[in-house]
Amino acid sequence: MAARLFNAVAAGLAVSLRVTPNAARARIDGIAAEADGTEFLKVAVTATPEDGKANAAVIKLLAKEWRLPKTSLSIASGARARRKTLVIAGDVRELETKLIGWLKLHEAA
């Protein structure tokens, strides 16, 4: 599962997202898959999708949840779309270990 959700890239680790702006509350809704099996993390934020506000809210939410510095997260593609690729700068192995551990913790909940 995590192998498709997280992918190693030159800068670190890429994470596939589907973002819902204007939500009632900011939250991470788990993992979903497209018809072709491509997995993504569902994220909802209260910010509007204008002037990069929703993207900034996504970065803030995920950085807090994953306990990473906001400066290490960036939107690599899909800045104006619901489907986005987030890149986390850093050591791929350390990041994968951290995020897979986070996933296991949240799947059990």
pLDDT of residue 34: 85
User: Where does the chain show beta strands of DSSP type E?
Assistant: 6-9, 12-20, 27-33, 39-44, 73-77, 83-89
Measure the CA–CA gap between 53 and 50, rounded to whole angstroms.
6
Pairing of strands 12-20, 39-44: parallel
pLDDT string in tens for the chain (109-residue length): 444 788 999 999 999 999 999 999 999 999 998 888 889 999 999 999 999 999 999 999 999 999 999 999 999 999 999 999 999 999 999 999 999 999 888 776 5
User: Which tokens belong to 100?
Assistant: 């897979």
Whether domain 2-108 has CATH 3.40.50.10860: the reply is no
What are the residue boundaries of the structural domains of the chain, listed by start? Answer: 2-108
| Confidence (pTM) | 0.91
In the chain, the largest separation of any two C-alpha atoms, in whole Å, equals: 36
Q: Are the C-beta atoms of residues 42 and 20 closer than 8 Å to each other?
A: yes
